[in-house]
Amino acid sequence: MDTSRLLRTTGTVIAAAGLLLSGCTAGGAAGPRDAATSSAASAAARVAAPPAAPPQIPAALRPYYEQKPVWRDCGVPGFQCATMKAPLDYAHPDAGQDVDIALARRPATGPGKRLGSLVVNPGGPGGSGIGYLQAYAGIGYPAAVRAQYDMVSFDPRGVDRSSPVECLSGPAMDTYTQVDQTPDDAAERTALVAAFKEFAAGCQSRSQRILPHVSTIDAARDLDLLRGVLGDEKLTYVGASYGTFLGATYADLFPGRVGRLVLDGAMDPSRSALDLNRDQTEGFETAFRSFAKDCAKQPDCPLGKGGPDAVATRLGAFFRQLDAKPVPSGDPQRPLGEALATTGVIAALYDESAWPQLREALATAMDGDGSGLLALADSYYEREPNGRYANLMSANAAVNCLDQPPAFSGPDAVDAALPSFRKASPVFGSGLAWASLNCTYWPVKATGAARPLTAKGAPPIVVVGTVRDPATPYKWAQSLARQLDSGVLMTYDGDGHTAYGRGSTCIDTAINTYLLQGKAPQNGKKCT
């Protein structure tokens, strides 16, 4: 299990497990990239947007802002793809070293006045924006929004189609995801540390060129480059989960270029890596207790009756059984042990619509068949049936480990923090504490640090928090809205990760009005 600070929308977490999530039936995987369709559509796609290179753009960067993307059909009906160049190192943009940033869009469908581009990001870090756009946002966002905006996304640098970070082979990732992250003795501690070191060394050997240049600040600069290449004077953007940190970073860097920004399922940039991981542990506990209350009411609850404490005790006991003796999963190389089972449960906590499947997966696992929980874990890690992994976990670690110094200096520091993590979550605390050790052995020193983001001078920025969000605790949204000079907080009193497009008419109406008319909701607005 390596779930530390993996922050993305529900549609990119468990769609591969066959769950129906808020009207979306597919997640992070995109279709074929370059297959041609109609010649008429291809011709229209090649009409480039006028470049936008404001006077304040440094001279060395102007050629990048003046790019004219060649849009082409890319195998998914209605969508077009292109590539833009970005400097590998923004501190030395004239060094002649570039990275390719993959782009995708779905042109505004009309009728009505076109409002420009709406850039969307699903989180991660490491989530494919192109996969998210093609599978959900480009077809699932409200029709009125899609009618007036070109829906646009990109794979951030280091992700999937954009100079991806690579670390381990598929078989090596299979081994890595099974490593025991609740070590009971010195040998298990040594094995866990060795696994983190092997992962980091794999990233260094396979991705040495890109590894120092995939921070969120780098991605935010790419986001402004994208704005310019699209021909938009201001950025209109919806970021979910980690995408809120990307959006807030952008606003702090370029407050004068902020248009309409929605930050849904917000991160708190002022929290240290240790605090973020501990807060997220508490968030998963909150979500689990909500699941436990519901499970105890269902006739098919495999964890029995009683309050959340009783349900949690039974789940903890089951995890310990799996730690001692994994059960078959249908894959002889990957029996269901504690690590994969915990990841499977965490995956299902992202969306309450997954609770019935989680009950079924737990029931079958307790009966000796771990295939259901393994499928949930595979969806979380974006593992394909052929054993190939998307680069989500590699990119996730690469970005997180650059953005902040590591949470822990070593195993002894984890030991000291274990009581606070177990207090935050008796079920998940130990595993998530040890998972927070992943950046300790990273080969590239962190270039960022925790700090408030104010975006002073920006127009209203809408920050959305869900009260029982498992991955981005509600208090993070409250904090980010306070930090931002023009932050406007909206609260969704519900379960699951993020709020927009997940069934709340109140949330959706307010955000649609903001995107289409520029009218921000009242600060403190609450929805159910």
Q: What is the pLDDT of residues 46-91, one digit of tens each?
A: 233 344 444 589 999 999 999 999 999 999 999 999 999 999 999 9
Last residue of a domain, one of 370, 402, 435: 435
In this structure, the answer to whether residues 187 and 263 fall within a common structural domain is no
- Which residue is listed with tokens 């920050």? 463
Buried b (16+ CB within 10 A) or exposed e, 11-37: bbbbbbbebebbebebbbbbeeeeeeb
In this structure, the answer to whether residues 480 and 502 fall within a common structural domain is yes
In this structure, the answer to whether residues 256 and 288 fall within a common structural domain is no
In this structure, the answer to whether residues 223 and 195 fall within a common structural domain is no
Which amino acids are annotated catalytic?
241, 469, 497
What average pLDDT does the structure give for the chain?
A: 90
Asked whether residue 227 is assigned to any structural domain, the reply reads: yes
In this structure, the answer to whether residues 299 and 251 fall within a common structural domain is no
Rounded to 10°, the helix 170-178/371-381 angle is: 120
In this structure, the answer to whether residues 345 and 406 fall within a common structural domain is yes
**pLDDT of 4:** 54
User: Which domain, by its residues, includes 37?
Assistant: 7-164+212-271+450-527
HSE (CB half, 13 Å, CA atoms) of 167?
A: 27
Residues 6+ apart with CB under 8 A from 443: 200, 201, 203, 204, 211
In this structure, the answer to whether residues 91 and 38 fall within a common structural domain is yes
Residues 6+ apart with CB under 8 A from 133: 79, 104, 105, 106, 120, 151, 152, 153
**pLDDT of 345:** 97
- Which residue is listed with tokens 């030395």? 92
Last residue of a domain, one of 383, 406, 435: 435
pTM here?
0.90
In this structure, the answer to whether residues 467 and 386 fall within a common structural domain is no
User: β-pairing, 235-240 with 116-121?
Assistant: parallel
Asked whether residue 440 is assigned to any structural domain, the reply reads: no
Helix%, strand%, coil% for the chain, nearest 5: 45, 15, 40
Distance CA 377, CA 113 (A): 44
Q: Which parts of the chain register pLDDT below 70?
A: 1-55
Pick from 215, 263, 212: nearest CA to 236: 263
Asked whether residue 504 is assigned to any structural domain, the reply reads: yes
In this structure, the answer to whether residues 218 and 304 fall within a common structural domain is no
In this structure, the answer to whether residues 200 and 114 fall within a common structural domain is no
Residue 93 preceded by cis peptide, ω within 30: no
Per the DSSP assignment, residues forming a β-bridge with 86 are 99
Asked whether residue 488 is assigned to any structural domain, the reply reads: yes
**pLDDT of 2:** 61
Number of domains within the chain: 2
Per the DSSP assignment, residues forming a β-bridge with 489 are 463
In this structure, the answer to whether residues 277 and 217 fall within a common structural domain is no
In this structure, the answer to whether residues 235 and 276 fall within a common structural domain is no
Asked whether residue 445 is assigned to any structural domain, the reply reads: no
**pLDDT of 373:** 98
